[in-house]
Amino acid sequence: MALNDWSDSIVIAELGDEPAFSEDMDALIRRITNSHAQGNADVPDVILNMQGVTYLNSSNLAQLLKLRKQLNACQRRLRICAVNDSVWSVMLTTGLDGVFNFTEDVSTSLASLQIQ
């Protein structure tokens, strides 16, 4: 995964399929958790670019929910973008389409975070 610090307050994570997805999400969750535990006020908003993800399993969904919970605890935001049809179908089936904020692409995610 590429974790790109787009700015001081926004990180863009480029995700791929398993096994990289789980490893990458674990690293991202650790980063957020460690920053929050150290009392850092610089926990970033996160954009997950899922262009390289073709499927999700239950473990992946649990990681997404854990990341969302960590970011909410820090009062930070999460955007998921570039979701393909098979991944979107999983989100619809599980009802997670109403839990996460989705955008078309990274540019739209960046704009939505900067406007709010």
Distance CA 31, CA 89 (A): 29
Question: What are the residue boundaries of the structural domains of the chain, listed by start?
Answer: 2-115
User: What is the pLDDT at residue 8?
Assistant: 82
Report the CATH number of the 2-115 domain: 3.30.750.24
Tell whether pTM > 0.85: yes
Distance CA 45, CA 9 (A): 6
User: What is the pLDDT at residue 77?
Assistant: 96
User: What is the pLDDT at residue 82?
Assistant: 97
Q: pLDDT 10s digit of each residue in the chain, 116 long?
A: 577 788 888 999 999 998 889 999 999 999 898 887 776 668 899 999 999 999 999 999 999 999 999 999 999 999 999 999 999 999 999 999 999 999 999 999 999 998 86
User: What is the pLDDT at residue 20?
Assistant: 87
Question: What's the token pair of residue 88?
Answer: 């979107």
3-state helix, strand, coil in the chain (%, to 5): 50, 25, 30
User: What is the pLDDT at residue 40?
Assistant: 60
User: What is the pLDDT at residue 116?
Assistant: 66
81 bridge partner residues:
49, 103
Nearest to 98 by CA among 108, 106, 88, 107: 88
